[in-house]
Structure 1
Amino acid sequence: MSDAKSERLSVFKTYKLFFGGKFPRSESGRVYEVADAKGKWLANAPLASRKDARDAVVAARKAFAGWSGATAYNRGQILYRIAEMLEGRREQFAREVADAEGLSRAKAAAVVDATIDRWVWYAGWTDKIGQIAGAANPVAGPYFNLSTPEPTGVVAVLAPQESSFLGLVSVLAPVIATGNTAVVIASERAPLPALSLAEVLATSDLPAGVVNILSGKAAEIGPHLAAHQDVNAIDLTGAGASQTAKELEIAATGNLKRVLRPQPVDWAADPGTERLLAFLETKTVWHPIGV
């Protein structure tokens, strides 16, 4: 009897895509093998298709009005709630980051701690970025002239390939903190931390469709998102080769997308406000004095 108990089968986790607040399999039914830094099999990840990318954009567009219309204070509360939930799953993410990036458990735990801190940092900026990006402009006449920042819209994000969790959060959090919605292509080599993050987002207070996460080949999905007419901006951080990034940048000109070009980044360094400002537009309003 005791021998039978010790020979129980392992229950392997089934990873799925995340868009519209749901966890569908890829419509193509395709998967690909994900291995750790030593080449040991970890899981099968869904291989997103062009239709999956389109569906994710539809979900992001549907969620944009509600998310951008929420108060900055409310967005900050929701982001902080996500950080609380990440803290509760710290051990799981430390294990996944260790496997994905070939780190010791102690170093992976330090990366996860830094990632949670980074999320809290961006949560704190939601109701402050308007104060540094907006202005009351002096004009020669009886008018108020006010400039205020507004979100760009739906942002496609090619997540960093090497930094599977800290880098991912560093490019995703500023996008949604400023009121945009996001379609993220996770690291192709190490997508599991991103797909686990989706589970946290789904059970937090984040409205469905604000963040949509696809796993698969950036070279396959990226061109469709870059050329998609309902995507307003694209972050090419994870585009890889300069030629690939250039091709995506050219594809993005079809509807004059904002483009954040790839550049060397130390993800552990102070992020500053550059990414918060990258996907904001400035609206200027004139109003007569005394009316």
Structure 2
Amino acid sequence: MSSKSSTDTARAARLGVLKTYKLYVGGKFPRSESGRVYEVSDAKGNWLANAPQASRKDARDAVVAARKAFGGWAGATAYLRGQILYRIAEMLEGRRDQFAREVAEAEGLSKSKAAAQVDAAIDRWVWYAGWTDKIAQVAGAANPVAGPYFNLSSPEPTGVVAVLAPQESSFLGLVSVLAPVIATGNTAVLVASERAPLPALSLSEVLATSDLPGGVVNVLSGRTAEIAAPLAAHQDVNAIDLTGAEDADLARDLEAAAAENLKRVLRPQPVDLAADPGTHRLTAFLETKTVWHPTGSLGASGSGY
């Protein structure tokens, strides 16, 4: 037998090394607390991998990690946040082929269409990175008042945001909902698409090796309804994006649970992912802080400049 034929036989006989996916919480990769996994298939029904099935405990742990990271991330300069997000885009560009393959398998797209989706997602990440130090000029204001005062309004991040990623758009939709949340200084607990979680889980590997502090983004996979319920009711979650809650009854129940501590809620709505995203998602999870400051001496004359 020739060496070539023996090599071919060995290749045919060997078992492939299948990847084991994990959650991403607090900058680390834990297994699901329950040890559960679920099968992920491609658009044709072929098995791709086992993904971790997060539990309520995993959701609570992710909120704790996001809260711990919030102070440092919100307190970082907008310029620094922009630099970190841009670095993530550079790393995504380096793994473009991997994400294109995962998107093609998840969404049943051709290689060229999947690559176009990934290119659009990376471009969108860069776009949001550029907004980090500009949104204050758009959302802030100097307010005219009757008196010798400056009255200034400036945007501040809301806090911990639970994000339900779109179910159908596994990467472009994911970037479209996640990037604006962290660009504006919030921290995120991301619930990946239940049907196509692999691009989100691969994104967590990029985040872990970037300059993004651990806990700023936490990625959970599993049954959307199971994970979203404790997040919507959690008293330390400040806002929730319901984009991935496709079932109307589920969205209504989550919104009702979110009302307990007056969470900001972004309701699910049809989105044209190919269109200019605008600033809507950048301002969705921002609070406005207004301060008064005297313009000068407040003595008897009351004059100022």
CA distance in 2, matches of 1:92, 1:133: 37
For residue 21 of structure 1, the aligned residue among 20, 27, 35 is: 27
Structure 2 portions without partners, runs of 5+: 298-305
Equivalent AA in structure 2 for residue 143 of structure 1: Y
| C-alpha distance in structure 1 between counterparts of 2:10 and 2:246, whole Å | 48
Query: Which of 140, 155, 177 is the equivalent residue of 2:161?
Result: 155
Aligned residues, how many? 291
* Distance apart, 1:5 and its partner CA: 4.2
Structure 1 residue aligned with 2:65, among 59, 69, 80?
59
Please state if 1:50 is matched with 2:56: yes
Distance, in Å, in 1 between the alignment partners of 2:111 and 2:157 is 38
Residue of structure 2 in register with 1:245 after alignment: 251
Q: 1:193 maps to which residue?
A: 199
Q: Are 1:170 and 2:176 matched, yes or no?
A: yes
| Deviation at residue 9 of structure 1 after TM alignment | 2.6
Tell me the secondary structure at the aligned position of residue 264 of structure 1. coil
Q: Which has the larger radius of gyration?
A: 2
Does structure 1 residue 35 correspond to structure 2 residue 41? yes
Amino acid at match of 2:158: T
Q: Secondary structure at the match of 1:11?
A: coil
Equivalent position SS for 1:161: coil
1:122 aligned onto 2:148: no
Of the candidates 203, 228, 231, which is equivalent to residue 234 of structure 2?
Answer: 228
Partner Cα distance (1:222, 1:79) in 2 = 26
What corresponds to 1:72 in structure 2? 78
For 1:287, the aligned partner's letter is H
In 2, Cα distance between the equivalents of 1:70 and 1:253?
Answer: 30
* CA distance, structure 2, for counterparts of residue 223 and residue 31 of structure 1: 19
Q: Distance in 1 between matches of 2:64 and 2:241?
A: 18
1:258 to 255, 261, 264: 264
Q: Which moved more, 1:35-44 or 1:214-223?
A: 214-223
| 3-state SS of 1:284 partner | strand
Give, in whole Å, the separation in 1 of the partners of 2:135 and 2:187.
17
Q: Secondary structure at the match of 1:157?
A: strand
Give distance in 2, aligned partners of 1:81 and 1:5. Answer: 41
Which residue of 2 is the match for residue 272 of structure 1?
278
Unaligned runs of 5+ in 1: none
TM-score (norm 2): 0.94
Question: In the alignment, is residue 133 of structure 1 matched against residue 131 of structure 2?
Answer: no
- One-letter code aligned to 2:210: S
Aligned mates of 1:189, 1:32 — CA distance in 2: 10
Instruction: Give the whole-Å Cα distance in 1 for the aligned partners of 2:17 and 2:54.
Output: 24
> What CA distance in whole angstroms lies between the structure 2 residues aligned with 1:142 and 1:270?
41
Q: Which amino acid aligns with 1:184?
A: L
> SS where residue 244 of structure 2 aligns?
helix
Residue among 287, 292, 300 paired with 1:286: 292
Q: How far off is 1:242 after superposition?
A: 1.2
Cα-to-partner distance string for 1:16-56 (whole Å, 9 max, x where unaligned): 00010000010100000000000000000000000000000
| SS class of match (2:51) | strand
Runs of 4+ deviating beyond 6 Å: none
**Per-residue CA distance 1:230-285 (angstroms, 9 max, x = gap):** 00000000011111101100000111000000000111211000000000000000
The CA RMSD over aligned residues, in Å, is 0.9
* Structure 1 position 11 matched with structure 2 position 13: no
Which residue in the other structure is 2:102 paired with? 96
